[in-house]
Amino acid sequence: MGLSYGLFICFLLWGGTELCYPQPLWLLQQGASRPTPSAPPVIVECLEAQLLVTVSKDLFGTGKLVRPADLTLGPEGCQPLVSADTDNVVRFKVGLHECGNSLQVTADSLVYSTFLLHDPRPVGNLSILRTNRAEIPIECRYPRQGNVSSQAILPTWVPFGTTVLSEEKLAFSLRLMEENWSTEKRSPTFHLGDTAHLQAEIDTGSHVPLRLFVDHCVATPTPDRNASPYHTIVDFHGCLVDGLSDGSSAFKAPRPGPDTLQFTVDVFSFVNNSRNVVYITCHLKVTLADQDPNQLNKACSFRKPSNSWSPVEGTADICDCCNKGDCGIPGHSRTQPRVMSPGPKSPSRKRRHAADEADVTVGPLIFLAKASDRDMERWAAPRSSMALGGGLAAVASLTLAAVILAFTKRGSLSHTVSASQ
């Protein structure tokens, strides 16, 4: 009875039932759930030298199909393969080193990262959009170790010089870690107010013992370390300057080992950046493990309680230059990183190797709204619906009362006329 009465009022006021049910009817059925698609909207295949991405045109699962022209892959905006209009999917097939894909080297994997971008544009002369802009991270991991050849291994003579070079190759890596530092973080998503745990490492192999340092770190909205806007996290050869702001970013002391350096960064997002993604690029370098840290090779954190800088190892005076912003080498530039020697060389290592330092990028880090903000939105949504429903009910009641009053007056008038005759 209540439902029929409500439908009558809605039809009386607006001439139809559409405004009575602004949401689909399946939401009104208790216990009903929205049907889920049988296949994921994005499928990634990591081939030997190529990346194959298949995207459903019903990307958002709403029945509104996206246009292939609105989809691109990677920072360089690679276009999809040509397909017929009747196809329900859009395909990308690119090389692992194409489209601006970034490479990250971990202890046991080669990680190629990119993203699928849906950037809708108005159709024709219209100035409206019916789908959202979305950026979907894509990642392919390949193991670094293992023999992929089925042929027999034949003994060969290798020159001594080649053997020395292979032993001195270094592999730098920068990884996101869980809060306990024991495992790598699998999800790149954060909420503003969280803390990112970063671990820099170097695989020395058969090299002499080395000590790793984070010389410089910068955050940018794209994998390009020279992009704008940018935010400097580590500067002046190992000063974690991000800790000077309202955050608590710091190096972790003591180290797990000389070849590993851990630090935390309070997450942030760039102003007026709708993508809400950040890439962190760090310049890593090494010195001999038995060399004492100095102003050029250090890891210093700012301690707010004492209002001073503190090193992970070494004497406190090596961090004094962090306050001055000058740690011995003039002309420091974010866009033109210097190649510097990690310190005095032993007689057996007088020549310099390019592997003594490297730029390593981690990302994209995806930043979402605070969890409390989402809870507030969920709390406010049903109350807004209740308020709207209450307002409609009040309007309907007043209208019905007016109609009844009009019929009553009309009946009284007819009775008076009949009596007078």
Residue 35 CA to residue 232 CA, distance in Å, equals 46
Reported as a single tens digit per residue, the pLDDT across 337-376 is 433 334 443 333 333 444 588 999 998 888 776 554 444 4
Residue 341: inside a domain, yes or no?
A: no
Q: Using an 8 Å Cβ cutoff, are 219 and 230 in contact?
A: yes
Domain that holds residue 142: 36-146
Token output for 319:
């961090």
Is residue 183 domain-shared with residue 78, that is, in the same domain? no
Burial 175-192 (b: 16+ CB within 10 A, else e): bbbeeeeeeebeebebee
Q: Is the pLDDT of residue 98 over 60?
A: yes
* Angle made by CA atoms 80, 83, 85, in degrees to the nearest 5: 120
Instruction: Check whether residue 189 and residue 318 sit in a common domain.
Output: yes
Amino acid type, 307 = N
Contacts of 252 (CB under 8 A, 6+ apart): 181, 262, 263, 264, 312
- Cα gap 213→298, rounded to integer Å: 7
Residue with tokens 């293992």: 146
Do 30 and 44 sit in the same domain of this protein? Answer: no
Same domain, 358 and 220: yes
pLDDT for 402 equals: 60
Report yes or no on 41 lying in a domain: yes
Amino acid at 12: L
**pLDDT-wise least confident of 28-32, 186-190, 251-255, 316-320:** 28-32
Q: Which amino acid is located at 309 in the chain?
A: W
Instruction: Using the structure block, give the residue that is written with the tokens 């009949």.
Output: 418
pLDDT band at residue 216 under the 50/70/90 scheme: very high
Q: Is residue 177 domain-resident?
A: yes
Count structural domains, the chain: 4
Give a yes or no: residue 82 inside a domain.
yes
Q: What value does the mean pLDDT take over residues 394-401?
A: 57
**Which pLDDT score, from 0 to 100, does residue 125 have?**
66
* 123, 194: one domain: no
Which range has the top average pLDDT, 9-23, 38-52, 153-167, 296-310? Answer: 296-310
Domain assignment of residue 156, yes or no:
no
Q: Is 5 exposed, middle or buried (0-12, 13-18, 19+ CB in 10 A)?
A: exposed
225/364 same-domain check: yes
CA distance 32 to 36: 12
325 plus 183 within the same structural domain:
yes
